[in-house]
Structure 1
Amino acid sequence: MVKKLRRKFVLTAMLSLFLILVAIIGVINFLNYREVQSGADDALNILAENEGFFPEMKMEFGKKDKDNGAPPMKPEDMDGLFFGGKAAYNRTIEMPFQTRYFWVKLDSDGLVLNTDVGHIAAVSKSEAEEIATQVFNSGNKERGYYDWHYRYILKENEDGSTLIIFLDCSSGFYGANRLLLMTLGIAGVSLIGMFILVYLFSGKAVAPVVESLEKQKRFITDAGHELKTPLAVVSANVDVIELESGKTEWTQSIRGQIKRMNGLVKNMLTLSRMEEENIHVVFSDLDMSYAVKDAAQSFMPVAESRNLKYNMDIAENIHISGDKNAINQLSSLLIDNAMKYASEKGVVNICLELDSKGKKAIFEVSNTCDSIPEGNLDRLFDRFYRADSSRSRNTGGYGIGLSVARAIANSHGGSIEAKRDGDHMIRFIVVIPVAKQQAN
């Protein structure tokens, strides 16, 4: 129990950190890629407005100020910008020398009119014309990517010709990819470091819960053992009374209550023992078919007394690695539960078979019932949960048997679940791995 709790704490913390890192890395890299594209589009817009050439940027920089009658802007006038005036000024005037691009002009029929590859070394004139022709014939409008690292823009001129400008974004995407790898590496290292820290400190984090669970288990164990003595004394006193005065309905009632209390104490101790982390149950090869059949046959008189239709379909020679007493108890608990809650003249089905892959044993107990609890049936396995208190009083249930059944299934590396089958049939399905020799 402690290991499971600690494991869940570590898993929850690591999953939360993982999701946060994914969100942060995703946003950073998404914005970075968008920035690369945005910078390429800005350069393409300038080139498109100037027929494929950069204007004299120093003059262009102060053009608007001249038009307004103001003197040209200088680097020192740009101190209010985020990256500083000098950096922004230098970036602007250096753009023509840092940008790698080429352009091709085509007529309305797609024939090449003019080509300029003087600003790029990776593309020849013939390659540029071939690329431009492909983009022109593809029917793409305005802008897009060619081969994922050439950003292009189409500009239709008044004379019917089309200017296609391609800008090489490989340098920007190379830097963006490196940033992606660096952030992924940092995230990986962070996850490993966080895992170590969370694992080391998880013991302290769950310590209060562990202490509460340990006290609860000690209380159940101590109370169970303490209850055995007075129950034995009461049973002995009843024996004496019956020897002196004979059996009466009162002594029989006392015996019935003693039997119920003994069953409750037994189940509580079994549940506590199954959940004890330091309990190492020694498993051996077990013929589960025989164990289930033995338990099922013992309930045949009960089924006959209640006029129930009792069906058994138990496959032979299904072996698991388990504890014989625990599997017998698991089978008896589920069958007894079906007998108690089966509707009058209803049906109880017992089935044991292998799954389609032959690696798991599937033990199923189903019964008809007057009503099935609403909502999540997993609550039936909670301790002391009873869907119908009045019905439980009549059948003698305490709401702990299914909890014990789940503890036994889990201790054998398996699982148990409850399912509805229509409106008046409930199924309890236990899945346990078969022995390795049989699985192979």
Structure 2
Amino acid sequence: MMKTLRKKFILFAMSAVTILLIVLIGAINGFSWIILDRQSDSILHTLVNADGMPLPMDFPDQWPFMPAPDMDAVKSALFFIVHTDTNGNVLDVNIDQISSVDTEQAIQYAGQITGTSGKIDGYKYEVKQLGTDRLIFFMEISAQISIFIMVLSVSSVIAVICWLVILLFVVMFSSRFVRPIIAGIEKQKQFITNAGHELKTPLAIIQSNNDASALIHGETKYSKNIRLQTQRLNVLMTNLLTLAKLDEEVKLPTETVDISELICGIFSAYEDSASEKQITLSAKIQPHILMQIHMETFMQMISILLDNAVKYTPEGGTILFSVRTEGVHIKILEENTCENPHGTDPERLFERFYRGDDARTQNSASSGYGIGLSAARAIAETFGGKLTAEYPETGKIRFTAFF
């Protein structure tokens, strides 16, 4: 359990750290890109207003926390200008401020623009109207992209280093963090195990004395109540011990078993109790289904499902139990009529000590402690399966186990 809890702690902690670092890196680089983009917009707009020959002037701030471009940045910008008439014919090309573009390339870029501003192949452009003619300004933004890539790279490397350092710290101290939790869990499991074993003997004595008294003095309502309550306590102790054993995550010895034959044997044991309540009990069990299981524990899971169904199915109701294969999966289904759930989430039925009907009393023959289904789900998960509950229609509940 220590290893499992440590893994979960490390996974949770590092997931939180990863999300935090991703958000920080995204925010830093997103903010950086917006600032660089706004600055390049300001420089290009300045060049457009000055027809490519900016003079020293004061600029207002364009955006909070972002200073206006200085004249050195404007004068060092790499740009070219294409002059066209109203029909798009090129009248003049000025490539004096850039060496990486020739006249033919400049004309090609001018023919590809759409709208009055935008980006194309690493250049920002803006169009200025001169009567019926147009001046198209193209400014290279490779420096902006380079700065952004550098900031992104540096911040990513720092984030990775921080992530590794935090991972080392979490791994080194995870044992110390989870040790108190493990100690509490171990004490709780030890208490349940000890209490379960200690209660078995007095319960057996009470049961045997009660049976002897019934034989000598005859059956009374008191002996019946004693027998009922001791039976319920025995079931509770069995389920609690099962949960404690499964929580220890000790690998159970398994064998290949024909579960079809096994379930048929368990199913027949509930026919009498179902007939007493006039419940229609039917089964559809596909023959010769083999599964690798720990027989005793698997039988307990099936018994819990059937016992739960017989207890809570009203008189005259129906219970359907089916076992079949679906591809590589084995599907075990138990469906029975029940009282209206009144909006209860079926998943809550698997909570330990949850009882769906608060009106049931401890003296009711059909009442339970709300621990059986928890044990059934734990058993299913032990064999790599999944046990779920749903209400397929009003007045019916269905439990499905997939393996």
TM-score normalised by L of structure 2 = 0.90
Q: For the Cα contact (< 8 Å) 1:392–1:398, is it kept in 2? A: no
Give me the whole-angstrom Cα distance separating, in 1, the residues matched to 2:342 and 2:25. 46
Partner of 1:213: 185
- 1:19 partnered with 2:39: no
> Does the 8 A contact of 1:386 with 1:392 survive in 2?
no
Return the alpha-carbon distance in structure 2 between the equivalents of residues 245 and 42 of structure 1: 104
Kindly report which structure 2 residues correspond to 1:248-267, keeping only aligned pairs within 5 A, or say none: 248-267=220-239
State the distance in 2 between where 1:176 and 1:306 align. Answer: 76
1:112 & 1:202 partners in 2: Cα distance?
70
Instruction: Name the counterpart of 1:293.
Output: 264
CA contact (8 A) 1:342 1:369 kept: yes
Q: 1:317 aligns with which of 288, 292, 296?
A: 288
Structure 1: segments with no counterpart, 5+ residues: 65-81, 433-440
Residue 401 of structure 1, CA deviation:
0.6
2:86 is aligned to 108
> Tell me, what secondary structure is at the counterpart of 2:360?
helix
| Partners of 1:367 and 1:425 within 8 A in 2 | yes
| Matching of residue 156 in structure 1 with residue 134 in structure 2 | no
Report the 3-state secondary structure (helix = DSSP H, G, I; strand = E; otherwise coil) of the residue aligned with 2:369.
Answer: coil
Cα 1:240–1:119 change in 2 (3 A) is same
Matched position secondary structure for 1:333: helix
Matching residue within 219, 231, 244 for 2:203 = 231
One-letter amino acid of the counterpart of residue 403, structure 1: S
Residues 282, 106 of structure 1: CA spacing in aligned structure 2 closer, same or farther, 3 A cutoff? same
32-41 or 306-315: which moved more? 306-315
Separation of aligned partners in 2, 1:341 and 1:200: 51
Shift, 1:101, TM fit: 1.1
CA RMSD of aligned residues (A): 2.6
Change (3 A) 1:96 1:389: closer
Partner SS, residue 394 of structure 2: coil
* Contact 1:150-1:169 at 8 Å conserved across structures: yes
Q: Is the 8 A contact 1:381 1:406 kept in 2?
A: yes
CA contact (8 A) 1:105 1:164 kept: yes
- Counterpart pick for 2:103 among 125, 128, 153: 125
- 2:348 matched residue in structure 1: 379
Q: Which residue of 1 aligns with 2:39?
A: 39
Once the two structures are TM-superposed, the CA of residue 106 in structure 1 deviates from its matched residue by 1.1
Distance 2:268 2:208 in 1: 32
The letter of the residue matching 2:17 is: L
- Note the alpha carbon deviations across 1:340-369, whole angstroms, 9 max, x for none: 1113322212122333xx232221211111
Give 1:79-118 correspondences, 5 Å limit: 92-95=70-73, 98-118=76-96
Structure 1 position 4, deviation (Å): 4.3
Q: Which has the higher mean CA deviation after the structures are superposed, 241-250 or 118-127?
A: 241-250
The answer to which of 101-110 and 208-217 deviates more is 208-217
Instruction: Report deviation, 1:164.
Output: 1.1
Cα deviations across residues 99-149 of structure 1 (Å, max 9, x unaligned)? 1111111111111111111222222111111111211xx3x13x21112x2
Q: TM-score, normalised by structure 1?
A: 0.83
- Aligned-partner Cα distance in 2 for 1:235–1:62: 99
Contact 2:277 2:314 in 1 (8 A): no
Structure-to-structure mapping, 1:29-428, within 5 angstroms: 29-55=29-55, 60-61=56-57, 92-95=70-73, 98-135=76-113, 138=114, 140-141=115-116, 143-147=117-121, 149-157=122-130, 159-242=131-214, 244-277=216-249, 279-355=250-326, 358-372=327-341, 374-391=343-360, 393=362, 394=364, 395-428=366-399
Paired with 2:268 and 2:204, the residues of 1 have a C-alpha distance of 30
Alpha-carbon distance in structure 1 between the residues aligned to 2:340 and 2:3: 38
Matching residue of 2:9: 9
Structure 2 gaps, min length 5 = none
Task: Answer yes or no: is the 8 Å Cα contact 2:47–2:74 preserved in 1.
Answer: no
Query: How far 1:15 sits from its partner (Å)?
Result: 2.0
| SS of the residue 1:391 aligns to | coil
Matched residues, number: 397
Report the residue type matching 1:45 in the other structure.
Answer: H
Cross-structure match for 1:438:
none
Q: Structure 2 CA distance, aligned partners of 1:294 and 1:29?
A: 67
SS in 1 for 2:339: coil
Measured against aligned partners, the alpha-carbon deviations of 1:47-95 in whole angstroms (never above 9, x if no partner) come to 101112333xxxx14799xxxxxxxxxxxxxxxxx99xxxx99x83433
Does structure 2 retain, via aligned residues, the 8 Å contact 1:101–1:168?
yes
Cα distance between partner residues in 2 of 1:95 and 1:171? 11
SS at match of 2:80: strand
Could you tell me whether the CA contact under 8 Å between 1:351 and 1:363 is conserved in 2?
Answer: yes
Note closer, same or farther for the CA distance 1:380–1:6 as it changes in structure 2 (3 Å cut). Answer: farther
* Cα distance, 1:289–1:243 mapped onto 2, change above 3 Å: closer
The Cα of 1:25 is off from its aligned counterpart by: 0.6
Instruction: Give the superposition deviation at 1:329.
Output: 0.8
Q: Distance in 1 between matches of 2:146 and 2:328?
A: 50
Deviation at 1:229, TM superposition (A): 1.8
Aligned to 1:70: none
Task: Single out whichever of 293-302 and 268-277 deviates more from structure 2.
Answer: 293-302
Shift in alpha-carbon separation, 1:41–1:253, aligned structure 2, 3 A? closer
Q: State the alpha-carbon separation in 2 of the partners of residues 5 and 338 from structure 1.
A: 35
Per the alignment, do residues 243 and 313 of structure 1 end up closer, same or farther by CA in structure 2, a change over 3 Å counting? Answer: closer
Taking the aligned partners of 2:402 and 2:279, their CA distance within structure 1 comes to 26
SS for the counterpart of 2:310 is helix
